[in-house]
Every structure is written in structure tokens, then in C-alpha cells.
Structure 1
Amino acid sequence: MASGEHERPVSAGAPEEGACAGMDLGLLAGEARARMEAFTRGQVPTRAELFLTASRRLSLEYEVGPGRFSLSRGESVSAAARVWREEGTGFAALSVGGAEDLERVLNVASERVRPDARAPLPALPAPGVSPPGLPELSGERARELAEHVARTVLPPGVVVQAAVLTCTASASLLVRGEGVLQGSLDARQEAIVRCETSRGAVVDGVAGPLGEAWNLEPLRARLAEAVETLEGPAEAADPGLPLILRPAVAAPLVAALAWMLRGDVAVATPALARAVGKKLFPSVLSVVDEPLHPLGVWRRSVDDEGAPARALRLVDEGRFQGFLHSAATAARLGVEPNGRGLRAEGSPPTPSALNLFVVPRGDALPEHYTELVARVETFTTMPRPGVVSLMAGGWEVREGRRVKRLAPVELRLPVLETLRALRGVGEDLAFFPTADGCGTPTLILPPLLGG
């Protein structure tokens, strides 16, 4: 190991694909089916499901200057249960240390059934098979990848406050009382770097499926441009110029839109739910959520309820088409689920985007404009729902030439109102793990700096 490196093992020897946290996953899957069958036989007409998750995680922090690494690992197995009876629905989740915990989580969910937690019983998923074993996460491979990222993307002389590489693998198994088994495997790697400049820190990164080669050139170019933009003499921006948000600056706005397009947000916002089918935005705006997009952070074909995760066109040339739905939110609004019921640990499925992005167009830029290219890290980008707050630096551009560097400006952008004013969309689509995996090209807006 490199000087100063340490590793916290989770067990003796290398992890095995068929085991996680000391448990054989194949045997646990068999136990899950047996305990589910026994539970539903004993509590007719109860319906139930078990959702098992086995997770393996490796996190590597790289001190770029001295070349030191700090590596940690973790493994866990958890189970979530939902139980449906005539009087309502119950939910429970807990960590699993043995097969007996599967029966326990079903019983706890049964005890928690109540009418005010009623949720629809999702349609039966297509029968599938248990997921393959969890892949091994190699510490040596992680070190090599972190060094490669640092050599490739970091501008010369920049102070790196943090460089973190994370590899995760998660195998899940959905077991329904009707005897249906469906498994899936999600394995990905992510690198995030935080660079210091005289006007604040810049955070950016790259992510994708585990083992897939990254195209690091876009990240290298963004970091180099951010450092150049935020160092050196700067002037105040002209509030009368149109505003150009390059992808790294536009990404939080698109991530906030993704949040507003969730079905649970629609349920809580009736006026937004009633807008489906209406032309809310200019024709230049189309928004798609594509689970298998080749540039996307996530790659999924089914959600955590077993429903197919098909591509969704949520905004079509300005016309609002619908929301991201789990089975529960779709039932509340009287529409079909669309495969976006995803589970956070310890929670029932909630609607979430996979690879949501603004569709590129390649619209022409105005003759003169303010170009914001580098977002300065802040503690929050959505201090209140529906409003994005960010700090960004950039350039004043005249007739296609950058004529002066601009000091960072603060923007408070109401999401819907800002996108209703959209004048054009570029063709330089990029996805950002630092913006919930959302993607966007350049966005062309009217003058907004004058309030």
C-alpha cells in the first residue's frame, strides 16, 4: 500500500460473489420465498412482498499532493416488507443478520397495517430470476482509477481539497406472495473532485456502470475552464445582457425540475397535477427520462416494484406530458405507473428520475451575452421548494469573443418561471452525478441579473 494508506476490512479474505455480510445470498433468497409462502398461507387474505437488498461499497479518498490513499469498505443486507389487508397497508424495514429476520420484518409490517397508510398493491412483475452475485470491489483497481482520474482531469497547480472515488454494488430481490421472484443488479463507480480557487470551491465528477471506461475529457475541460474563470481580475456583470448557462451551471436547475416532476410532489401540489397536457414552456424545451441512456449515471430496465422502466417524454416541445410515478402516486392521480418506484434504505418506493435530461437542440447564441460557466459550491441549491439558488462565475461575450472575466454572481431562479422564459437550448449535453444524475446542454435565457 502507498504511504499513509489504510484499509478497514469487513471480513477475512476477499469478498465472495455469492456472499454478503457473512450470508449466502442464494440460500437467503430461498429462505425469503419459503417464509413469504408461510406468512401468506397463515394470514389469508393478506397480500405481502419482501424486498431484499445486499450491498457492497468501497470508498477511497485520495490526497493528491502527497499521493496518499484512505480506503474503507462496507457490506450490508437489509429487508423491507409491505403487507396489504382490507383495512390498509403496513411497512417495515430492518437489517438482516439471518433468515429469521425475514419472518420478523413481515410480522412487524403486519402489525403496522393501518388505513391512513393505504397504498395500492402493485401489478405483478414479470417472473424473473435471482440477481447474479455481487461483484468484488477491488481496492487496487480503485487506487489505479483514482490516480488516472487525478492525472487526467486536474488542472496544473490546482489545490485539490477532496478527491473521492466510490464503487457500489447492490443486488436486490423482490419476492411476492404469489410466488413471483424478480432480481436486479446495480453496480456503478463514481469519482468526485473538489478544487479550490480564490473565489470558492468547484465540485464536479463523473459516474457510470462499474468497470465501464469513462470519457474524462469533458470533466477535464470543465475543471480547466472553471479554474481559469475563477482566477484573475474580474468585473461586475452587465445586467442587461442575455444569460447563457453552460451545463455545469444549468444542472441544478434541471435537477430541481426533476424533483418537481415526481409524482409525490404532484400529489401534494394539485395545481401542478392539473397542468398535465398544457403547454407550460416554450417549444424549445423537451425533457426526457431515459433509464438506459448511454451517458447516464444510472442504467435500469425495471424499478424496485418490478415495473418496466421505459423511456418517458415528460415535456414535449413545451407541452407538459406527465410525472415520474411509483405504483402509489400513479394510483393517487388515476394514471398508469411508469417504472420509477425506487427505494431508499428503510423507505417504501418513491418516484425518482433515472437519467432525466433536457433534450439538446443546437440553437444559436445571441450576439452579446453573459456566459456563466463555473458554479461555486454552496451549502444548498434549493433553499425552498421550486427555487434554485447558486453562485456562478463567467465571462462577458461580445460577437463571439470573451472580452472580460466576471466576478461570481448570485442567482435565485424560480424553476418554472425561469424555464418558461427559456429562449434556446444548446447541443453540449452532459450528465452530472453532483446534480442527482440529471443532464443538460447549455440553456439560453433572457437577461435575469437585473432582478
Structure 2
Amino acid sequence: MPGVDERTCAGVDLVALRDAACSAAVKGELFLSAERRLNLELEARTGAFTTSTGESLWASARVQRVDGVGMSSRHVSAPGELSSLLEGAAAAAPMAGALPEPLAPGAASSPVALPALSRVRAQAWAARVSSTVVPRTGIVQALVLSQSETWTAHVLAGASRAHVESREEVFVRCETERGAVVDAVALGAGQGAHALEALRSRLAEAFDALEGPVDAVDPALPLVLRPAVAAPLVAGLVWMLRGDVAAATPALARALGRKLFPSVLGLEDDAAHPQGTRRRALDDEGMPMHPVRLVDEGRLSGFLHTASTAPRLGGVSNGRALRSMLAGPTPNALNPFVMPRADPLPAHYTELIARVETFTTMPRPGTVTLVAGGWEVRDGRRVRRIAPVELELPVLETFRALRGVGTDLTFFPTAEGCGTPTLVFPPLLSGAQGGQAAR
């Protein structure tokens, strides 16, 4: 996007906005967010791509009160609006929680810049995906390439810390004879070609599993979930280990430090993981995002925390406060992943490779529902294709049955950025009939 001023967003000078925030937030907190985005979307009917661009700028204020924290958020169009935003927070109905600790005096702030986006780059990647990644037999229902640059600044007691996050992702939805498959990859710096090859390989395997003659599943066989199928289950576990969720689940909160799972399970969140879909140094409360171990050899060792959730569980913030537009900070992982191992596969098993799109994966808290197809494998050979089966898996109970973890760690933007290798479970389909898993 030539001619873009990197120091402005939505017509507002970001340096002036940050400086005004530092002056106004002497007795409170301000969070500023400026985003530039570009979407390139395939018109399935014509085969042409349409481009949309946009910018947004919003701010959120929080003020500590005796009876809790007051918060106010809105889109802003001038630096002078920040003082009235703080006044609105002071007058708002109180919420439970507390502000984070003040930033160190003079804390360095990253350069105030919102980089331009590249329409040419987006078009080149989209054309490559369309021509080389999607299987020739596939019907593309949707192909979207998105770019975004987001500048955020956390200002507390006059000190500020800022961060710029760049994201580029491509999403593909293809129709097979047994349902739609949705997959995506992040095109990180220097990783684009490798990521697209991984996407091409997964889509090819999915089509192979979902097209052709099928048989009913053998419910007595162990279950092997390849990464594309295991990812929603991992996302469900990560969601349960958020500090706000754990605080509302007393039994889970009391289990901290206990061995809840088999020793083969390790779970970590690393904002700097080289394969992860995102990169950040600071969370949205200005805290450093160091790696957080959530499960260590089966022992529940931590939760994801903000400054507000940590005290409720007797912990400290671990830099996992993230904000969505006009909302307060909530604990979230950035690049959570099951730690790879090299556990052996069973001699005979059901291998689920391709996840068929459904409208929801967690219809009830703590339970993941998915539909997946694959193969029956005997002595290392795929002997017959099985009809897609529906699994309704209680997250904690399912992971307590985990038997093994593979080496093929893969991250998925379609599963909240979660990463997972192959996961091995005992038979989970007892009572399955006609290719459908019993609940």
C-alpha cells in the first residue's frame, strides 16, 4: 500500500496519541490499539480475487477504585478524547479485579510505527495457493489471505510500553464428497514456502481420506489422532487452563501441583516459538511474555493469568493478558503446544487424519465435538478407509487416557493457534455403529 504514513492510523498521529496517553494516565491505565488490515478473497464463482482494506483505532481505560475497577472503551479519533475516556472509566460500574503493577519509571517504548501492507505480496501468495496447494479434484469454496499490522501501547501511571505485531495467514475451505475441510497456515518471515507445502500435503491427505469407498470403523482399535484432528482437543484443554475458567472451576483450581494426566503429556505456551503462528514480546498489560509451562510430565503446573485473575488463584501474572476490540484483558495463550515425544504407535489402530468442518467444536464447556475421517492401519499399512466418525470428547477425561505423543508438531490458526503432534489414545469409540461414535 504505497504512500502510507507509518506514524498515523485512521487519520490520527500515533506519537501524539501515545504522548497524550502518558500525560492523561497519571492515575489510571490506558490501552491503545491501532490496526491496519488487508484481506484478499477468492470469488469462487468467477475465480477472481477481491481486495478489502481498513484501519481501526480504539482505546480502553481502567481506573482503580475502592470498590473495584472501572472500565470504558471506544473508538477514538483524536488524542484529546483520552481524558474523557478515563473519566468515563472512573464513573463506570465497578468490576472485580485490580490494575497491574506500575511499569518501571522510564520504561522504554518501542518505535511508534504501523508498517504498510503489501497488496502485491498478498496477490502473489493467493495465486500460489490457488494454483499449487489445493488438490485438483477439490472445489474451493473459500480462500482468504489476510495481512494485518497492529500497534498497541500500554500506558500506566505515565509510563508506556508498546509493541507491533505482524500477521499474515491464508485460510482455505474445500468441499469433498464427505464434507468440507478447512485449513490454514501462518506465512511467517522466511516460512511461507514451507508453510504452503505443509498445507498442500495436509489437504492432499484429507482428500485421500474423505473420497473413495469406505467401511465402518472398528471401535475396538486404539485411536491415533493426527495433528489436524488433535488440534481442537488441545485448544479445549488450553481454554480450561485459563485463569478465569479455572477460578470458576474449583476442582480444577485445587488440582494445581497434582498429577492429573499421564507422564507423556507436557503442555507449554511460548510466544516466541519458531513454529508458532504469532510473535509477541509483551502482553496487553505491558508484561513480558516468557514461556509458561501448564502441564509438566502430567502434573498441572500452572494457569494462564492476567493481573486480575492471578490473585483469585493465589498466583502472579505470567504475561498472558490479551484484549479483543473494546473489551478488557482476558487470559489467553499465544502459541500453546503439546510437547513432542517419540512414543511408539500401536500395531493396529484407527488413524484419523482429516477433520470435517462443523459449526462448533465445544458445544458444552469442557467437551469437544468433531467429525473426522481416516484409515484403519495394521502393521504400519493403511488397509481400509473408514467413514467419518463423530467424537464427543470430555477434555480432561480424554487427556487422562493419553497413551503417546508423536514428533510431528504442527500449529494451526484454525485452532486458536494451538500446536500438537500426533496423539495416541486407547479405544474411544466403543458402541460406535455405522461409522458414528457413541457419546
- The answer to whether the aligner puts 1:121 opposite 2:99 as a matched pair is yes
- The answer to whether the aligner puts 1:258 opposite 2:247 as a matched pair is no
- 417 and 335 in structure 1: CA distance in 2 versus 1, 3 angstrom threshold: same
Q: Which residue of 2 aligns with 1:197?
A: 176
* SS of corresponding position for 1:362: coil
Q: 2:311 pairs with 323, 331, 346, which one?
A: 331
* SS of corresponding position for 1:258: helix
- The answer to whether the aligner puts 1:267 opposite 2:255 as a matched pair is no
CA contact (8 A) 1:363 1:425 kept: yes
* SS of corresponding position for 1:282: coil
TM superposition score normalised by structure 2: 0.95
* SS of corresponding position for 1:61: strand
- 214 and 182 in structure 1: CA distance in 2 versus 1, 3 angstrom threshold: farther
The amino acid across from 1:194 in the alignment is R
Q: Which residue of 2 aligns with 1:135?
A: 115
Q: Which residue of 1 aligns with 2:53?
A: 73
Q: 1:36 pairs with 20, 25, 38, which one?
A: 25
Q: 1:21 pairs with 10, 28, 31, which one?
A: 10
- The answer to whether the aligner puts 1:108 opposite 2:71 as a matched pair is no
C-alpha displacement of 1:139:
1.5
The amino acid across from 2:100 in the alignment is P
Q: Which residue of 1 aligns with 2:434?
A: none
How many angstroms apart in 2 are the aligned matches of 1:221 and 1:125? 46
Q: 1:186 pairs with 165, 173, 183, which one?
A: 165
C-alpha displacement of 1:28:
1.6
Q: 1:407 pairs with 387, 393, 398, which one?
A: 387
The amino acid across from 1:299 in the alignment is R
The amino acid across from 1:413 in the alignment is L
C-alpha displacement of 1:172:
0.7
Q: 1:442 pairs with 405, 411, 422, which one?
A: 422
CA contact (8 A) 1:84 1:113 kept: no
CA contact (8 A) 1:85 1:113 kept: no
How many angstroms apart in 2 are the aligned matches of 1:14 and 1:198? 46
* SS of corresponding position for 1:220: helix
- 64 and 140 in structure 1: CA distance in 2 versus 1, 3 angstrom threshold: farther
For 1:119-268, what aligned pairs fall within 5 Å after superposition?
A: 119-126=97-104, 127-177=107-157, 179-209=158-188, 213-215=192-194, 216-268=196-248
The amino acid across from 1:124 in the alignment is P
How many angstroms apart in 2 are the aligned matches of 1:52 and 1:73? 20
For residues 318-338 of structure 1, what are the alpha-carbon distances to aligned partners after superposition, in whole Å with 9 as ceiling and x for unaligned? 111010000100011111110
Across the aligned residues of Structure 1 and Structure 2, the Cα RMSD in angstroms comes to 1.5
* SS of corresponding position for 2:192: coil
How many angstroms apart in 1 are the aligned matches of 2:20 and 2:287? 24
Q: 1:93 pairs with 54, 73, 76, which one?
A: 73
For residues 324-359 of structure 1, what are the alpha-carbon distances to aligned partners after superposition, in whole Å with 9 as ceiling and x for unaligned? 000100011111110001111111111001100001
How many angstroms apart in 1 are the aligned matches of 2:89 and 2:190? 38
Corresponding residue pairs, total: 428
How many angstroms apart in 2 are the aligned matches of 1:136 and 1:245? 40
How many angstroms apart in 2 are the aligned matches of 1:304 and 1:392? 36
The amino acid across from 1:142 in the alignment is A
For residues 6-43 of structure 1, what are the alpha-carbon distances to aligned partners after superposition, in whole Å with 9 as ceiling and x for unaligned? xxx9xxx7422111101111122122222334xxxxxx
For residues 369-388 of structure 1, what are the alpha-carbon distances to aligned partners after superposition, in whole Å with 9 as ceiling and x for unaligned? 10000000000000100000
Structure 2, gaps ≥5 residues long: 431-437
* SS of corresponding position for 2:25: helix
For residues 105-130 of structure 1, what are the alpha-carbon distances to aligned partners after superposition, in whole Å with 9 as ceiling and x for unaligned? 1111011153xx13222122341214
* SS of corresponding position for 1:80: strand
For residues 376-409 of structure 1, what are the alpha-carbon distances to aligned partners after superposition, in whole Å with 9 as ceiling and x for unaligned? 0000000100000000000011111111010100
* SS of corresponding position for 2:399: helix
How many angstroms apart in 2 are the aligned matches of 1:73 and 1:212? 24
Q: Which residue of 1 aligns with 2:435?
A: none
- Counting aligned pairs with the same residue, the percent is 57
How many angstroms apart in 1 are the aligned matches of 2:335 and 2:89? 32
Q: Which residue of 1 aligns with 2:433?
A: none
The amino acid across from 2:78 in the alignment is G
How many angstroms apart in 1 are the aligned matches of 2:76 and 2:92? 19
CA contact (8 A) 1:131 1:173 kept: no
How many angstroms apart in 2 are the aligned matches of 1:311 and 1:240? 39
